[in-house]
Structure 1
């Protein structure tokens, strides 16, 4: 396996590629139409329930902003709208949302550029994150370079079918400003002022000069009035936090809680994602395989069953992995205490200790955010059956992934490019 040369990826724990072969370079998302995502829903049950299920198709819209605009057109609170998956902004995405206590006729009030909303049914329950069968992707990588492009694509396709590191991608941490895990770590520690400063402050070079200056000034002064005067108007969440601090000086906890609940919970789970990436990279660095189990490894089966690899069942576990019935998994920590079973668990515990975070911190964050952070198993490898087509300097990739897996992680294995070429 080859180590990533890019500092940004290393900072996020995304440290290795599955192969040493040269990449194809190129750029993702030259236009939103180059990145098409279609959600594969679970069956809709209880058709007479109070939740209206709609198919939402949007082009170049951030999901939270789209939901707020839809709610505004409907004259309802955005908190009545839920979804199963968070999709990319710079893309054409089709997904499903649930809206509580709304008639199908009311959807006709929604008229927004590059957004269509179609009623598909009703349910007794709201959609929840992860409650989908998967996502279908149709992605075009443009301006690819290097000799023997077709051969490089063929090699990457073979690697993707055998298994690549199942990293959380760059967009999990913020595309222009990868800070969500840093904010989440401070929330976990109860450092709400530090969390606000990391969210509103902490400039990044790919932002406008005005935005960078406003963030730097807030970091240095903690002055919310100046922030309201200086932050660009499109920074609605930062401005909402600053506005709260103007009205409630020093109430940094309250400032965080003006964020939409799902966004606030994503900040904490982003730190969990960071811990996962770092621990997975540590396994690879130690020379251990993604698909050959070590004693103490956790296994997750396709039916949800879990097991621990022992000396007695190691060969059987290897056979089950090769048959596609289970995968090696890493337990992402949360509020529930965990008994370590193997080297990956021990690495995770060491990493949490290094950051000064414990299960008790997740419990406190659960109360603050009003979202349970119990911890969960995540497979360390990603398998993709990719249909790849090469045309001059462009490569088209079509594949389907389970929920919670990142298409950019697959594209990264083909491109081996600067991560900013994938945003």
Structure 2
């Protein structure tokens, strides 16, 4: 195990690497074609009947929320009529299924948008929802890799990938250029809606254009929506819709937040849950507990969703189950329901207290955002068979991950580089 030297990773709870090998450095996503993602859909999606048209969406260098809004605009419908199973990367070439309510195949055939294609594959009685997929296949290229014995170091990490990496939520979960989704989620949970709007619209980050940084700073200090509207670029549609609402409805910060697409709004709160998970996982590693080494009190999650508790008496049996892949050690990401007695992780409990968040806050946010926030168990270990190859200073990786697992979490073990070189 090795500690990350990067402040951004540590801030987001990603404090450790599983491997001790020196990193290969390099850069991921030199072009979108260096990061190819193909969704693995569940069987049965795309039948012959139902009001939801199931389409295969292929996009190149588009953020999903913005792509959906633009698709809806071109089709002349509300973006709320479009559903999807997984949020894919922006700086990538991605293929996935989306559902569109009450549009015709002819309308899809007439659709045209640069770097986006839609192909009808069927129809269904229900829209696609987050998590409604089997996983994703990745075909990645890390360029400008460096150091001696590159092939040997790549082989060492490839071997470790089949054992276990920390199953961190990656940087994309929190925002790439502006890693603040978890901060906004925390503010929404506490009902601090004005600060949530000010953070989303007004908090500037150094990798943005200076002009945009200036507009954000002015709004953060002045809270003047009209002035910000005059200066905010038209392509920043989410910020502009919030500012427009504030100009028309002064002081209604809750309403301004609700101008955002519901899925984006709910992602803020779930990003805070992800942050708690990352921090709790790092706390476990810091305390010397391995990813596949059970200790009394650990919770186990089985492939059918059943959970169990590790005790001193069942550790030998649990160790066999873990080695055979029948279950995994899991941490609970808290939500609106109180945890069962004896199942709450001490690190998560302490983090909630530090951030002044209770289960009641999740209940209130659930109503505000129109999302469940029930909480969920997540395995602490990520295992995958990686097909790796090295050609001069380029490393190619192919692997498959379950839903909600991050390819950059695999890549960071190889690269051990500034996380911004992965986005």
Give the match for residue 244 of structure 1.
Answer: 245
CA distance in 1 between counterparts of 2:307 and 2:101 reads 35
Give the match for residue 281 of structure 1.
Answer: 282
Give the match for residue 212 of structure 2.
Answer: 211
CA distance in 2 between counterparts of 1:158 and 1:73 reads 47
Give the match for residue 328 of structure 1.
Answer: 329
Task: Report runs of 4+ in structure 1 exceeding 4 Å deviation.
Answer: none
Is the Cα–Cα contact under 8 Å of residues 329 and 377 in structure 1 kept in the other structure? Answer: yes
What is the CA-CA distance between 1:227 and the residue it aligns to?
0.9
What is the CA-CA distance between 1:50 and the residue it aligns to?
1.5
CA distance in 2 between counterparts of 1:72 and 1:207 reads 26
What is the CA-CA distance between 1:102 and the residue it aligns to?
1.9
The answer for unaligned runs of 5 or more in structure 2 is none
SS at match of 1:162: coil
TM-score, reference length from structure 2: 0.98
Q: Does 1:361 align with 2:367?
A: no
SS at match of 2:206: coil
Q: Does 1:56 align with 2:51?
A: no
What is the CA-CA distance between 1:340 and the residue it aligns to?
5.1
CA distance in 1 between counterparts of 2:354 and 2:145 reads 40
Give the match for residue 110 of structure 2.
Answer: 109
Is the Cα–Cα contact under 8 Å of residues 107 and 117 in structure 1 kept in the other structure? Answer: yes
Q: Does 1:15 align with 2:15?
A: yes
Give the match for residue 40 of structure 1.
Answer: 40
CA distance in 2 between counterparts of 1:106 and 1:237 reads 26
TM-score, reference length from structure 1: 0.98
CA distance in 2 between counterparts of 1:136 and 1:147 reads 30
Mean Cα displacement is larger for which, 139-148 or 217-226?
217-226
SS at match of 1:142: strand
What is the CA-CA distance between 1:163 and the residue it aligns to?
0.2
Q: Does 1:232 align with 2:229?
A: no
CA distance in 2 between counterparts of 1:295 and 1:139 reads 39
Give the match for residue 308 of structure 1.
Answer: 309
Give the match for residue 6 of structure 1.
Answer: 6
Give the match for residue 27 of structure 1.
Answer: 27
Give 1:115-264 correspondences, 5 Å limit: 115-264=116-265
User: What's the CA shift string for 1:297-327, capped at 9, x where partnerless?
Assistant: 1111112221111122221111101001111
SS at match of 2:162: helix
Mean Cα displacement is larger for which, 152-161 or 231-240?
231-240
Is the Cα–Cα contact under 8 Å of residues 37 and 91 in structure 1 kept in the other structure? Answer: yes
What is the CA-CA distance between 1:352 and the residue it aligns to?
0.4
CA distance in 2 between counterparts of 1:216 and 1:340 reads 46
Q: Does 1:77 align with 2:58?
A: no
CA distance in 2 between counterparts of 1:69 and 1:238 reads 16
User: What's the CA shift string for 1:199-232, capped at 9, x where partnerless?
Assistant: 0011100001011111111111111111112222
CA distance in 1 between counterparts of 2:342 and 2:179 reads 32
